[in-house]
Chains A and B, each alone.
Chain A
Amino acid sequence: MQKKDLGLLVLILVVGAITTALNPVFLSPVNLGNMANLVGLFGIFSIGIGVVIITGGIDLSVGSMFALIGVVFIDLMTNQGMAWQLVLPVAIGLGVAFGIIHGVLVTRFNMQPFVVTLCGLLIYRGAARYYMADATIGFGYAGGFDTLEWLASGRSFGVPHTFIAFVVVAIVMGIVLHRSVFGRYLFAVGKNEEAARYSGIPTSLVIASAYVISGALAGLAAVFLAFYTYSIQPSAHGNFYELYGIAAAVLGGCSLRGGEGSILGIALGTVLLQVLQNLVNLLGIPTSLNFAVMGTVILLGVLTDQQLQRRRARLLAVKAHQAKTASVQPARA
């Protein structure tokens, strides 16, 4: 565990302790279950966004992807009566397809990730609304997908399946990012793309893969989210959710300049964001202040982290300086 992640964990524990002191319901199994469910929902796609951020890019399109993939998903299930075993791969496949498009535009056509995914945000939102002619779509009376419903919104041993899925995704991505060759490539490309290319790393492929991962995880999250709200209003579903993902990644130590971050950090960032929203409701803080509370905590968190890092860097530089002088002195003598 890096120092950064530890600091974040401490922050979560402090916020949690304060909330518990003010309202013990915070630690009740029901509340923890609800929170775990939301952590799972938001965590899955936050990890995807985090991976893109680590390569020095950004993915603004996931919120709109939820709307588009969500309406297609519900439509195919309820109105077209497709089997869920088919629809689920279609939903994730759509996310992968969008990811491929983003990746190709960013690497082949050298477009800026911000621009590409911003256009994605607009296009997918528009497509979702057009697909539904702005009407809300819900699962209604349709049946035949009880298994999927149970998988997506049920609980086992009191643990929401969204959370279990999130933990699985986090562990797999944690290994990929922090232990595998591909993960090392991701960090190298994010930190110094040119040096990575000069070291024989297929940088375009690596960067494009990050967008594909983000798209696939967004597709998966879209299914979970559809089963959370049970109905989707194409104009509002998932609005701003990409910002939750970016916020979680940044809180979790991802640098928007790329090359930094950890899966554990992103997971903890997601937890903190959800704890904050929960706290607003539990403590009876006016809901209108919700975003303000979140923004303030992110700001303070990142600010503190940077100050601590700067101090650490200064200490390191002094130490390196001493080490250098020490190692060189005998050679000169």
Chain B
Amino acid sequence: MIRRHALTLAAALLAGTFAIGPAAAQDKPVLAFVTNAAADFWTIGRAGVMQAGEELDGYTTEMHIVSEATAAEQRRIIDDLLTRGVAGITVSVIDPANSRDLLNRAASQAVLFTSDSDAADTDRLLYVGTDNVAAGEQAGELIKQSLPDGGKVMLFVGTMGAANAQERVQGIKNVLEGGNIEIIDIRTDEVDFARAKRNVEDTLTTYPDIDGLVGLWSYNTPQIVEAVKAAGKDGQVKIIGFDEDPVTLRGIADGIVDATVVQQPYEFGYQSMMLMAKVLDGDKSFIPEDGLMIIPTKVIDQSNVDEFRQEMQKLLAQ
């Protein structure tokens, strides 16, 4: 994972950030996956993409991790891919509302899937990923379990501009609505870790009697864990998270975090590549009416965390 030798550097410069060199890429049709951020989440997703690449004889698969989580950066990558004439693209869309033209153009030139973050009103063939509203509802149920007597919770996320953030919040609200649990506010940090942590710190000082903290994006929960530990409030404040950051998982093992809702990025990568290949081979019959291929989310709590961690280590080691 870490490259620091000159040789690796030279090799990687040749290959770009792709796993398979350009020579192979010229020969076979290319299936590409474009992420919406640079995070461990996609390191796991990459494993799925690469696995699919190995299994598919007729195709080359590529993983494109955006250097900055902006719509402009993503657009540039997609434009480049289209110029290169790739056969299929799966995109985790950063800004669905404003990327319609681009995505429709992509759909007219290649097989277009979305994954992780959808753009439903475009010509994309299929969405492979989480139903984030359902995932939010799952988290909502977890909050209810953790706070049977009700209480006040704060939500933390990078930016509310992203569809998955909105949907997760919606799901949580669906479940908590009318109950005795109040959502005070949603704090955003523009993916600045230090700010994410200070948001938690400031929340703990402003609302000393807060009952629950919910991290919506993968790095939010670790920052919650660190801040709560520093404030000496571990155990007092219930923490529910999303995704599978190592600190989150350790928090579950240590009993600081109650549970986390994990997606299956490996499946995102793997399934989207395999299914795009299927479409290119002429088979569209598997595509459901609503165009959604939902990969279910899983709840990780103290009962299954060890097993899940081993699984993760196996995937990341690949």
B231 CB to nearest A CB, Å: 7
Task: Using A34-B198, A41-B194, A231-B193 as known contacts, list a sample of 14 further A-B pairs with CB atoms less than 8 Å apart, ordered by residue number in A.
Answer: A30-B231, A38-B198, A131-B2, A133-B2, A134-B38, A135-B1, A136-B39, A136-B40, A228-B194, A229-B194, A229-B226, A277-B195, A281-B202, A288-B188
- Set of chain B residues within 8 Å of A277, measured between Cβ atoms: 195, 198
Q: Are B222 and A284 in contact (CB under 8 A)?
A: no
Q: Are B38 and A233 in contact (CB under 8 A)?
A: yes
- Nearest A-chain residue to B160, judged by Cβ: A288
- Picked from B67, B194, B198, B203, the residue with its CB within 8 Å of the CB of A129 is B67
- Picked from A133, A225, A236, A237, the residue with its CB within 8 Å of the CB of B1 is A133
- Set of chain B residues within 8 Å of A38, measured between Cβ atoms: 194, 198
State in angstroms the CA–CA spacing of A137 and B2 once bound together: 10
Given that A135-B1, A141-B250, A233-B38 are known contacts, is A287 also in contact with B199, CB under 8 Å in the complex?
A: yes
Q: Are B2 and A132 in contact (CB under 8 A)?
A: yes
State in angstroms the CA–CA spacing of A181 and B245 once bound together: 51
- Set of chain B residues within 8 Å of A230, measured between Cβ atoms: 222, 226, 247
State in angstroms the CA–CA spacing of A225 and B197 once bound together: 11
B13 CB to nearest A CB, Å: 9
Q: Is the CB of B305 closer than 8 A to any CB of chain A?
A: no
- Nearest B-chain residue to A230, judged by Cβ: B226
Q: Is the CB of B268 closer than 8 A to any CB of chain A?
A: no
B256 CB to nearest A CB, Å: 14
B141 CB to nearest A CB, Å: 27
Instruction: Give chain A's interface residue range (CB within 8 Å of chain B).
Output: 35 or more
Q: Is the CB of B120 closer than 8 A to any CB of chain A?
A: no
Instruction: Give me the interface of B with A, judged by CB distance under 8 Å.
Output: 1-4, 9, 12, 17, 37-40, 42-43, 65, 67-69, 160, 185, 187-189, 191-195, 197-199, 201-206, 208, 219, 222-223, 226, 230-231, 245-247, 250
Q: Are B206 and A281 in contact (CB under 8 A)?
A: yes
Within 8 A of B (CB), among A73-125: 75, 79
- Set of chain B residues within 8 Å of A225, measured between Cβ atoms: 194
Q: Are B38 and A235 in contact (CB under 8 A)?
A: yes
B47 CB to nearest A CB, Å: 12
Q: Is the CB of A130 closer than 8 A to any CB of chain B?
A: yes
- Picked from B2, B9, B189, the residue with its CB within 8 Å of the CB of A79 is B2
Per-position 1/0 for A230-274, Cβ under 8 A of B:
111111110110000000000000000000000000000000000
- Set of chain A residues within 8 Å of B1, measured between Cβ atoms: 132-133, 135
- Set of chain A residues within 8 Å of B226, measured between Cβ atoms: 229-230
State in angstroms the CA–CA spacing of A16 and B174 once bound together: 39
Q: Can you list 25 A-B contacts with CB-CB less than 8 angstroms, sorted by A residue number?
A: A23-B206, A25-B206, A30-B204, A30-B205, A75-B2, A130-B12, A133-B1, A134-B65, A135-B40, A135-B43, A138-B247, A141-B250, A229-B193, A229-B223, A230-B222, A233-B38, A236-B69, A236-B191, A236-B192, A277-B198, A278-B202, A281-B202, A281-B203, A284-B185, A287-B187
Q: Is the CB of A28 closer than 8 A to any CB of chain B?
A: yes
Q: Is the CB of A31 closer than 8 A to any CB of chain B?
A: yes
Q: Are B193 and A236 in contact (CB under 8 A)?
A: yes
In the A-B complex, the 3 residue pairs with the closest CB atoms: A281-B202, A229-B193, A134-B38
- Set of chain A residues within 8 Å of B192, measured between Cβ atoms: 236, 239-240
State in angstroms the CA–CA spacing of A31 and B227 once bound together: 12
Q: Are B202 and A31 in contact (CB under 8 A)?
A: yes
Candidate in A23, A129, A233 with the most chain B CB atoms within 10 angstroms: A233
- Set of chain B residues within 8 Å of A237, measured between Cβ atoms: 193
Q: Is the CB of A140 closer than 8 A to any CB of chain B?
A: yes
Q: Is the CB of A282 closer than 8 A to any CB of chain B?
A: yes
Within 8 A of B (CB), among A17-35: 23, 25, 28, 30-31, 34
- Nearest B-chain residue to A29, judged by Cβ: B205
State in angstroms the CA–CA spacing of A233 and B160 once bound together: 20
State in angstroms the CA–CA spacing of A30 and B205 once bound together: 7
- Nearest A-chain residue to B9, judged by Cβ: A130
- Nearest B-chain residue to A235, judged by Cβ: B38
Q: Are A281 and B40 in contact (CB under 8 A)?
A: no
State in angstroms the CA–CA spacing of A288 and B12 once bound together: 38
- Nearest B-chain residue to A137, judged by Cβ: B2
- Picked from B68, B195, B246, the residue with its CB within 8 Å of the CB of A138 is B246
B229 CB to nearest A CB, Å: 10
State in angstroms the CA–CA spacing of A134 and B73 once bound together: 15
- Set of chain A residues within 8 Å of B230, measured between Cβ atoms: 153
- Picked from B3, B42, B191, the residue with its CB within 8 Å of the CB of A131 is B3
State in angstroms the CA–CA spacing of A31 and B293 once bound together: 46
- Set of chain B residues within 8 Å of A153, measured between Cβ atoms: 230
Q: Are A235 and B206 in contact (CB under 8 A)?
A: no
State in angstroms the CA–CA spacing of A134 and B202 once bound together: 29
State in angstroms the CA–CA spacing of A99 and B285 once bound together: 61
State in angstroms the CA–CA spacing of A28 and B204 once bound together: 12
A278 CB to nearest B CB, Å: 6
- Nearest A-chain residue to B232, judged by Cβ: A30
State in angstroms the CA–CA spacing of A234 and B1 once bound together: 13
State in angstroms the CA–CA spacing of A34 and B199 once bound together: 11
- Nearest A-chain residue to B184, judged by Cβ: A284
- Nearest A-chain residue to B157, judged by Cβ: A287
Q: Are A233 and B191 in contact (CB under 8 A)?
A: yes
- Nearest A-chain residue to B4, judged by Cβ: A131
